[in-house]
Amino acid sequence: MNYDVVLTCAVTGAGETTGKSLHVPVTPKEIADAAIEAAKAGAAIAHIHARDPETGQGSRDPKLFKEIIDRVRDSDTDVVINITAGMGGDWVSDPSNPAMPGPGTDMIGPEDRLAHVKECLPEICSLDCGTLNFSDTDMIYISTPPALRKMATLAREWGVKPELEVFELGHIRFAKAMIAEGLIDGPPMFQLCLGIPWGAEQTVETMAAMKAQLPTDASWASFGIGRGQMPMMAAAVAMGGNVRVGLEDNIYLDRGVLATNAQLVTRAREIIERMGGRLVTPQQARNKLKLRGADC
């Protein structure tokens, strides 16, 4: 059981959710406000994507990220900033010529994938530790070992802690290889991503199997998606982990009831407190996870 829980709120993501809920933030101001509201509700960390204000689609434009992060930092609310580095790895094969990229492909190199991280220098950035069939379409999310090693090296140089996002056991295996190679400063920080098609299933058994493969000194969190969000959150706390909730992963508070990010944080907080735990503050999270800005 984890009695001092670090809660991350993933406030918007890059998925096709904006047409399903008006609560999903789109503009830089909306995303920053959502992060601030989540922090006031108890989130220690805000996991941030940017979206194109005109289309609502996910964006990797450093200017959009900079506006979001500046708005959060200029507020009177403290929160640890965690920026996605998952954009720029989408390959969609052309149906008429599968050897060639088709519409929707967005493939860039490791330096470009981290351009917004270099611009904003958050405490944390995500690092998706492998390639994955990400849906039932012809889209593949590609993260190759050389690209990941380069991204880990750059993040380390900038003092940004990688959140090692793992979607299956092979991703944990490669993350441990990077740790052994000295590319990841200790203690390593893992996120067990459950329920994403077609990665690890969101079950307690899967979470336990993945946890068992982590380095002994690792800090870890986990999340589920859709209706699995709160059950997987509770399971992670019971198994000694930290947690993530938010509209990136689930847009409902109850069946048929659309949620806000702050409401999801509040619901998670209530469950954790009923389990006998508590949410830690942003500064306590920095200290616990050994982030930049931790108290010595």
How is the chain split into domains, by residue range?
Answer: 4-289
Evaluate the CA torsion angle 284, 290, 293, 294 in order and state its sign.
positive
DSSP string, 18-74: TTT-TTS--SHHHHHHHHHHHHHHT-SEEEE-EE-TTT--EE--HHHHHHHHHHHHT
Cα–Cα dist 291/295, whole Å: 9
Backbone dihedral angles phi then psi of residue 50, each to the nearest 5 degrees = -110, 155
Q: Which residues of 244-263 are buried (b: 16+ CB within 10 A; e: fewer)?
A: bbbbbbbbbbeeeeebbbbb
Cβ contact 4:277 at 8 Å: yes
How many Å apart are CA 12 and CA 25, to the nearest integer? 6
CB 208 within 8 A of CB 232: no
Give, in degrees to the nearest 5, the angle at Cα 3 between 236 and 194.
10
Q: How far apart are CA 67 and CA 62, in angstroms?
A: 9
- Tell me the pLDDT tens digit for each residue of 124-163: 999 999 999 988 899 999 999 999 999 999 999 999 999 9
- The pLDDT-based confidence of 296 (bands split at 50, 70, 90) is low
Q: What is the pLDDT of residues 46-84, one digit of tens each?
A: 999 999 999 999 999 999 999 999 999 999 999 999 999
Between strands 80-83 and 278-279, the pairing is unpaired
pLDDT given for residue 144 in this prediction = 97
Tens digits of residue pLDDT in 178-187 = 999 999 999 9
Rounded mean pLDDT, 240-269: 98
Main-chain phi, psi angles of 101, to 5 degrees: -70, 140
Contact (Cβ atoms closer than 8 angstroms) between residue 271 and residue 263:
no
Mean pLDDT confidence for 228-241: 98
Q: Which CATH architecture has domain 4-289?
A: Alpha-Beta Barrel (3.20)
pLDDT for residue 1 is more than 70: yes
pLDDT at 135: 87
pTM score: 0.97
**Three-state secondary-structure class, residue 157:** helix
